[in-house]
């Protein structure tokens, strides 16, 4: 299978949006996910896809809202992303782990770690329990910013909440500790987690 570059993708999608093509809900979701996956998503193209989808008489679904939300968080438009979450709620779609994880990922990427932690608190206050992927995104964000000690505190909080670690999270923690020349601590984390069976 030939993988197109992001530039070719954008040209292709623009051509599709200018043609009589009418995206189905599945195609709309795939288009938005692919656009959002670019390093710098083209928001104009995102909304052209959405507008064309709505013009065919379709209403926005959770996956479409998530596609728009992912693009907004990718380009650090967090205020707009929160408005999109409000629009989702108003349309009857409750933001879920995917929605919150996208926001946390974007905020961590912008190195606004305290804000990312607040989103996790807000998420739980709204009755949405973070899953292992959400916790991993927040912990990885702290490790990437060389805030490994805070990452370990978040990890302890996660275990306290009853969420078990998986191989991906262990990899994030171990690499985070090793990046700061903390090999002994990395070994201790591994031993403690495996001995107490806190791995899911």
pLDDT of 36: 66
Coil, strand or helix at 146? coil
Tens-level pLDDT at each residue, the chain (200 residues): 334 445 445 554 454 545 555 656 666 667 677 766 666 666 777 777 777 777 777 677 788 888 888 888 888 888 888 888 888 888 888 889 999 999 999 999 999 999 999 999 999 998 999 999 999 999 999 999 999 999 999 999 999 998 988 889 999 999 999 998 999 988 888 888 777 666 65
Per-residue confidence (pLDDT) for residue 78, from 0 to 100 = 87
Q: 132 near 166, Cβ under 8 Å?
A: yes
Query: Running DSSP on this structure, what letter comes out for residue 40?
Result: S
Contact between 197 and 167 under an 8 Å Cβ cutoff? The reply is no
Looking up tokens 């989808």 gives 53
Tokens of 66: 């998530």
Predicted pLDDT at 57: 72
Q: Which of 124, 133, 142, 78 is nearest to 101 (CA)?
A: 133
Structure tokens given for 163: 């969420």
Question: Residue 169's pLDDT is what?
Answer: 92
> ∠151-118-114 over CA atoms, to 5°?
55
| Helix 167-178 vs helix 183-195: crossing angle, to nearest 10 | 160
What radius of gyration do the chain's Cα atoms show?
A: 19
């Amino acid at each position: 299978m030939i993988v197109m570059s992001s530039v070719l993708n954008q040209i292709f999608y623009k051509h599709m949006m200018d043609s009589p093509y009418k995206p189905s809900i599945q195609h709309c979701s795939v288009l938005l996910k692919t656009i959002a996956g670019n390093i710098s998503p083209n928001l104009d193209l995102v909304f052209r896809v959405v507008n064309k989808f709505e013009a065919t008489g379709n209403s926005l679904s959770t996956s479409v809202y998530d596609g728009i939300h992912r693009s907004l968080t990718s380009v650090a438009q967090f205020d707009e992303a929160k408005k999109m979450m409000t629009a989702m709620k108003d349309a009857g779609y409750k933001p879920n782990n995917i929605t919150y994880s996208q926001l946390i990922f974007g905020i961590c990427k912008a190195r606004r770690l305290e804000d990312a932690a607040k989103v996790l608190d807000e998420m739980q206050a709204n009755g949405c329990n973070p899953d292992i992927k959400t916790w991993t995104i927040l912990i990885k964000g702290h490790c990437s910013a060389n805030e490994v000690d805070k990452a370990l505190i978040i990890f302890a909080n996660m275990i306290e909440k009853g969420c078990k670690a998986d191989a991906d999270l262990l990899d994030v923690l171990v690499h985070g500790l090793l990046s700061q020349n903390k090999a002994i601590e990395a070994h201790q984390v591994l031993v403690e987690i495996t001995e107490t069976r806190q791995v899911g």
